[in-house]
Amino acid sequence: MTRSPGVRRWDAGRNRGILLGTPDPAETGTPDKCHIRTIFQRLSARRYKRVVGEDGMRSLLIIGYGNPLRGDDGVGWHAAHELAHTICEPHVRVRACHQLPLDLAEPISQADAVIFIDACQPMADATGTIPTSAQHLPGGDRLFLQSVHPDPATPGISSHHLTPTALLTSTRVLYGICPEAVQFGIMGTTFDYTETLSADVAACISRLVAHIQRILSMMQQPGFSIVTYNLT
């Protein structure tokens, strides 16, 4: 479906950008299907320039997600807000959200590296085995770190609520590019209807912030890869 040149406005209520334009009257077929097909073709053909700071530093996108009304489930959301007040680097962007929508694929495609933060257990592979890449701190700490990669076998584009793997896969499908990514997970203990984190989980946030600040200091080193970062 061909559209006249349009403008993109921000729909704050739905937290997404909307492309405004007028369909070409000569276009045939069902409008909705043509519109969807054209959007995906357009996105697939585009290659976004990655966001780089004025000093040429590598960019980092931090996404903390979870429900802040369900106890420890909201630790990623709380951590993102803490990081947004702590980190003021121009090449770092922080997003706090309740879940992972497809809208995040565009900013992910523009970043050099992505950090996801969530209350979760280490992700198992297809055989149900927890990979050795899931790093835990000694002493039973609830904080762990795990690398995340796109998986063509993981459905994602049609989903409203995505996993980090599905979102990275969708980013690669839509934009033809996908940055390296890791997930900081914090194993929660209570998910009742409350806005308060449990003491053990709340204590993990300061350690998490310290690790991300350390990652930021190392990101500009030649050859550094975020997926090789060591918690110890």
pTM value is: 0.72
For the chain, strand residue ranges (E) read 7-11, 16-20, 60-65, 92-97, 113-119, 135-136, 143-148, 180-186
> Is 24 domain-assigned?
yes
pLDDT greater than 60 at residue 49: no
Distance (Å, whole) CA 34 – CA 226: 40
Same domain, 27 and 119: no
**The pLDDT value given to residue 143:** 87
- Is residue 32 located within the same domain as residue 82? no
For residues 68 and 39, membership in a common domain is answered with: no
Same domain membership, residue 78 and residue 39: no
**Arithmetic mean of pLDDT over the chain:** 74
**Statement: residue 137 has pLDDT above 70:** no
pLDDT at residue 229 greater than cutoff 80: yes
Asked if 77 and 35 sit in the same domain, the reply is no
- Give me the half-sphere count of Cα atoms (radius 13 Å) on the Cβ side of residue 195: 0
The reply to whether 71 and 186 lie within a common domain is: yes
What confidence category does residue 180 fall into, taking pLDDT thresholds of 50, 70 and 90?
very high
Integer Cα distance of 108 and 167 in angstroms: 9
Residue-range definition of the domain harbouring residue 15: 7-45
If phi over 0 gives left and psi between -120 and 50 gives alpha, with beta otherwise, what is residue 83?
A: alpha
For residue range 191-214, list pLDDT tens digits in order.
889 999 999 899 989 999 999 999
Could you give the number of structural domains in the chain? 2
pLDDT of residue 98: 93
Minimum mean pLDDT range among 44-53, 131-140, 145-154, 204-213: 44-53
Structure tokens at 92: 């770092």
Query: Could you give the percent of the chain with pLDDT greater than 70?
Result: 63
- Determine contact, residues 188/73, Cβ cutoff 8 Å: yes
How many residues are there in the chain?
232
Residue 66 located in a structural domain: yes
Ordered strands of the 135-136 beta sheet:
92-97, 60-65, 113-119, 180-186, 143-148, 135-136
Residue 132 CA to residue 136 CA, distance in Å, equals: 10
Establish if 54 belongs to a structural domain: no
Torsion angle of alpha carbons 199, 201, 203, 208, nearest 10°? -170
pLDDT digits (tens, 9 = 90+) for 18-46: 333 333 444 344 334 444 344 444 444 44
Query: Does one domain contain both 66 and 181?
Result: yes
70-127 pLDDT, tens per residue? 999 999 999 999 999 999 888 999 999 999 999 999 999 999 999 999 987 655 544 4
Flag whether 157 is in a domain: yes
Q: What are phi and psi of 72, to 5 degrees?
A: -65, -15
Residue, of 231 and 195, whose pLDDT is higher: 195
